[in-house]
Amino acid sequence: MHNKYSRFFKFIFFLRYLFVIFFVSISLFVTIPLFFNYEKKVEIIKNYFLKNYNFEINEIENIEYKAFPLPSLEFKKIQIKFLESNANFKVNYLKVYPKIFSIYNLNHFEAKKIIIDGDVVTLKASNFYIFIEQLLKQKKKLSFKNLTLKILNDDKLILRLENIFFSNFGYKKNSIEGKVFGKKFNAELEDNLKSIRFKLLNSGTSADLDLDKKTKKGTFKSKILNTNLKFDFEYDSEKLKIYNSYFRSKNISFDNKISITFTPFLDIKTNFEIEEFNNKTLQKINFSKLMEFKNIIKKINSKNTIIYKTENFSKYFVDDLNLKVDLVYGRLNYKKDFLIKKNLFKCEGDLNILEEYPLLFFDCSILINDKKKLLKKFSINTKSSNDALELKAKGNLNILNKKINFDRIFLNEKKLPKEDLKYLKNSFETILFNESFLEIFEIKKIKNYILEII
């Protein structure tokens, strides 16, 4: 009995020695590389990254081997360039976790995973999609953390993403986290960018994109608070088509189709069918700010049709609207007609947006079939006759200086004298055009103008 336990305890003591030997061996195995000179092998490691990760390292301040908690090579203050997307990284740390035996044979160096703990990344907007696609195609384990991504267009910052985390492995595989506009976001990506799910946390903002690269078709959906947008699209290198589109918010609801041609120049065709519209939305447009984008506007050619039908709902002021707006090299041509209680309004003209003080030229006519119903729409009661009237007016508006000039006005084919034109001009500028251009269309102001001149 005694001999039996004696053998058992001897075996336990023997295992203890084996454990000590094993521990010492492992400790030596992972600590001996502390004494290696990695500066001499840096070109081998650079070539490994170029071949397996498709990025090149241009500058390295220091390389340090760390044995614990896991053996790793730490590159400090380096510059990395992802070749396919031309993304430039300024990196605080590049941590490489090598396959352990390759530490002893750097000529056959291999990494299990790398972590880029970074500073700033600059990327052209045109290469952003390529960069994300490159990350998703990467088979080797790769992750980023603490990155600031600056997206540029013509060397101007258009978007800044901060505290970026991304990993192509683990339970957060193909998930991007970070901050945009000071708010946290999360984006989940499928392999080959078949779908993207984006959420701006604690804001009620989300967007989903589904894409079929074979057919070059997809669907986009977004929600921003109480605003919803959804559309299908087709694309190639020359054209983008948007259809089955709808937009819903408390101020405006519409369906639309858009066709955008990129080459040989930018050409846009749109068709909007408006279901609901709040006139106050127009007042938020700032023409002075719009003029700051003249260099962009002159590069855009577009043909736009806007249709608005109220289906006899009395809460809407205009019954039917048909508006066509064409933009060619900064010159805007428009043609519109609309009904108010079966009274027909027509107007056409043009505007050169590129001028320092743009003039909106107009040639308008009003065919009044029921004057009483029209005035009642403005809450104006009249005892005058209800005979049909035709009014024609031609002139121009100085949008920024808030001035109007009438070249001529005809009432039932009778030309009004210059004194009447001057009176109508002064009243227009005092009552209708005393603020911004779009506030001319405010119902209360129109009512006051009518009361002044009738």
Residue 389 has pLDDT above 80, yes or no: yes
Distance CA 236, CA 240 (A): 7
Specify the 3-state DSSP secondary structure of 6: helix
In sequence order, the 6+-apart residues with CB closer than 8 A to the CB of 119 are 89, 90, 91, 92, 146, 147, 148
Residue 396: the pLDDT is 95
Residue 237 binned pLDDT confidence (cut-offs 50, 70, 90)? confident
- CB-CB contact of 117 with 93 (8 Å): yes
Does residue 246 or residue 316 have the better pLDDT?
Answer: 246
Q: Token pair 């740390």 is at which residue? A: 93
* More reliable by pLDDT, 66 or 281: 66
pTM of the model: 0.72
Q: Tell me the mean pLDDT in the region 395-424.
A: 92
With bands split at pLDDT 50, 70 and 90, how would you rate the model's confidence at 141? very high
Tokens 């060397």 correspond to 155
The average confidence (pLDDT) of the chain is 84
Going by pLDDT thresholds of 50, 70 and 90, the confidence category of residue 8 is low
DSSP for 363-390, please give it: EEEEEES-HHHHHHHTT----S----EE
Distances 157 to 120, 124, 160, 346, 379 between C-alpha atoms, Å: 13, 9, 7, 44, 51
Please determine, for residue 170, whether its predicted confidence score (pLDDT) is greater than 80.
yes
Band of residue 113 on the pLDDT scale cut at 50, 70, 90:
very high
Q: What is the mean pLDDT of residues 310-329?
A: 77
Return the higher-pLDDT residue of 19 and 277: 277
Q: How many helical (H) and strand (E) elements, i.e. helices and strands, does the chain have?
A: 8, 23
* Mean pLDDT of the 110-114 span: 90
In the beta sheet, which residues pair with residue 260? 240, 268
Structural domain boundaries of the chain? 2-33, 36-203
Percent with pLDDT over 90 in the chain: 30
Q: How many CB atoms neighbour CB 444 within 10 A?
A: 10
Residue 378's pLDDT is what? 80
